[in-house]
Amino acid sequence: EAAVTQSPRSKVAVTGGKVTLSCHQTNNHDYMYWYRQDTGHGLRLIHYSYVADSTEKGDIPDGYKASRPSQENFSLILELASLSQTAVYFCASSDWGGYTGQLYFGEGSKLTVL
Protein backbone atom coordinates (compact mmCIF):
# COMPACT_ATOMS: atom_id res chain seq x y z
CA GLU A 1 0.00 0.00 0.00
CA ALA A 2 1.06 3.57 -0.69
CA ALA A 3 3.07 5.15 2.10
CA VAL A 4 3.25 8.86 2.81
CA THR A 5 4.83 10.00 6.03
CA GLN A 6 4.80 13.48 7.50
CA SER A 7 6.88 15.14 10.17
CA PRO A 8 6.38 16.56 12.64
CA ARG A 9 2.94 15.18 13.45
CA SER A 10 2.32 18.06 15.79
CA LYS A 11 4.02 21.40 16.29
CA VAL A 12 3.50 24.56 18.30
CA ALA A 13 5.09 27.64 16.75
CA VAL A 14 5.29 31.29 17.72
CA THR A 15 3.94 34.06 15.55
CA GLY A 16 6.63 35.28 13.20
CA GLY A 17 8.68 32.12 13.50
CA LYS A 18 9.69 29.79 10.70
CA VAL A 19 8.01 26.41 10.32
CA THR A 20 8.96 23.57 8.01
CA LEU A 21 6.66 20.61 7.46
CA SER A 22 8.20 17.61 5.74
CA CYS A 23 6.68 14.87 3.65
CA HIS A 24 8.25 11.66 2.37
CA GLN A 25 6.67 9.13 0.01
CA THR A 26 7.86 5.70 -0.98
CA ASN A 27 5.35 5.17 -3.78
CA ASN A 28 7.43 6.39 -6.68
CA HIS A 29 4.64 8.87 -7.45
CA ASP A 30 5.34 11.91 -9.58
CA TYR A 31 2.76 14.18 -8.01
CA MET A 32 2.82 15.49 -4.45
CA TYR A 33 0.46 17.95 -2.80
CA TRP A 34 0.08 20.01 0.34
CA TYR A 35 -3.45 20.65 1.62
CA ARG A 36 -4.63 22.41 4.72
CA GLN A 37 -7.74 21.50 6.66
CA ASP A 38 -9.45 23.81 9.07
CA THR A 39 -11.97 22.59 11.60
CA GLY A 40 -15.24 21.99 9.85
CA HIS A 41 -13.82 22.79 6.44
CA GLY A 42 -12.67 20.87 3.47
CA LEU A 43 -9.19 20.43 2.11
CA ARG A 44 -7.67 23.40 0.36
CA LEU A 45 -4.67 23.04 -1.93
CA ILE A 46 -1.62 25.14 -1.03
CA HIS A 47 1.13 23.92 -3.36
CA TYR A 48 1.80 20.90 -5.52
CA SER A 49 4.61 19.45 -7.59
CA TYR A 50 4.84 17.01 -10.48
CA VAL A 51 8.62 16.80 -10.75
CA ALA A 52 11.64 17.31 -8.54
CA ASP A 53 13.00 20.86 -8.28
CA SER A 54 9.69 22.33 -9.44
CA THR A 55 6.61 23.45 -7.53
CA GLU A 56 3.28 24.96 -8.52
CA LYS A 57 0.89 27.23 -6.68
CA GLY A 58 -2.41 25.80 -5.57
CA ASP A 59 -5.51 27.69 -4.56
CA ILE A 60 -4.21 29.31 -1.34
CA PRO A 61 -0.42 29.75 -1.73
CA ASP A 62 -0.04 33.09 0.06
CA GLY A 63 2.18 32.82 3.13
CA TYR A 64 3.58 29.43 2.10
CA LYS A 65 6.55 28.21 0.12
CA ALA A 66 7.21 24.69 -1.08
CA SER A 67 10.31 22.72 -1.94
CA ARG A 68 10.67 19.43 -3.86
CA PRO A 69 14.35 18.46 -3.69
CA SER A 70 13.71 14.90 -4.85
CA GLN A 71 10.84 12.75 -6.09
CA GLU A 72 10.37 11.35 -2.58
CA ASN A 73 10.42 14.57 -0.55
CA PHE A 74 8.18 17.60 -0.50
CA SER A 75 8.34 20.32 2.16
CA LEU A 76 6.02 23.14 3.11
CA ILE A 77 7.66 26.24 4.55
CA LEU A 78 6.05 29.00 6.55
CA GLU A 79 8.66 31.77 6.69
CA LEU A 80 6.66 33.98 9.06
CA ALA A 81 4.01 31.91 10.78
CA SER A 82 0.76 33.67 11.62
CA LEU A 83 -2.20 32.81 13.83
CA SER A 84 -4.35 32.23 10.75
CA GLN A 85 -2.09 29.37 9.69
CA THR A 86 -3.15 27.23 12.64
CA ALA A 87 -4.59 24.14 10.93
CA VAL A 88 -3.98 20.50 10.11
CA TYR A 89 -1.77 20.05 7.06
CA PHE A 90 -1.97 16.99 4.85
CA CYS A 91 0.57 15.88 2.33
CA ALA A 92 -0.55 13.56 -0.46
CA SER A 93 0.91 11.80 -3.47
CA SER A 94 -0.62 10.39 -6.63
CA ASP A 95 0.33 8.65 -9.85
CA TRP A 96 -1.62 10.65 -12.36
CA GLY A 97 -1.70 14.23 -11.18
CA GLY A 98 -5.46 14.30 -10.75
CA TYR A 99 -6.42 12.72 -14.04
CA THR A 100 -8.12 9.71 -12.50
CA GLY A 101 -5.41 9.46 -9.88
CA GLN A 102 -6.09 8.42 -6.32
CA LEU A 103 -4.61 10.64 -3.64
CA TYR A 104 -2.70 8.88 -0.87
CA PHE A 105 -2.62 11.07 2.20
CA GLY A 106 -0.14 11.22 5.02
CA GLU A 107 -1.33 11.17 8.62
CA GLY A 108 -1.41 14.94 8.91
CA SER A 109 0.59 17.56 10.78
CA LYS A 110 -1.26 19.61 13.37
CA LEU A 111 0.19 23.11 13.53
CA THR A 112 -0.70 25.53 16.29
CA VAL A 113 0.60 29.08 15.99
CA LEU A 114 0.54 31.10 19.20
Partner 1 sequence: GEQVEQLPSILRVQEGSSASINCSYEDSASNYFPWYKQEPGENPKLIIDIRSNMERKQIQELIVLLDKKAKRFSLHITDTQPGDSAMYFCAADGNEKITFGAGTKLTIKP
Residues that bind partner 1 (CB under 8 A): 31, 33, 35, 40-45, 48, 50, 56, 58-59, 90, 97-103, 105-108
- Least separation in angstroms between residue 16's CB and partner 1 is 29
Nearest residue (CB) to partner 1, 13 versus 50: 50
If DSSP codes are grouped into helix, strand and coil, which group holds residue 30? Answer: coil
Cα 9 from Cα 6, distance rounded (Å): 6
Nearest residue (CB) to partner 1, 70 versus 100: 100
**Which sign, positive or negative, has the C-alpha torsion 102, 53, 71, 20?**
negative
Nearest residue (CB) to partner 1, 16 versus 98: 98
- Least separation in angstroms between residue 57's CB and partner 1 is 10
If DSSP codes are grouped into helix, strand and coil, which group holds residue 36? Answer: strand
In sequence order, what are the residues at sequence separation of 6 or more whose Cβ sits closer than 8 angstroms to the Cβ of residue 49? 31, 32, 33, 55, 56, 66, 68, 74
Nearest residue (CB) to partner 1, 48 versus 78: 48
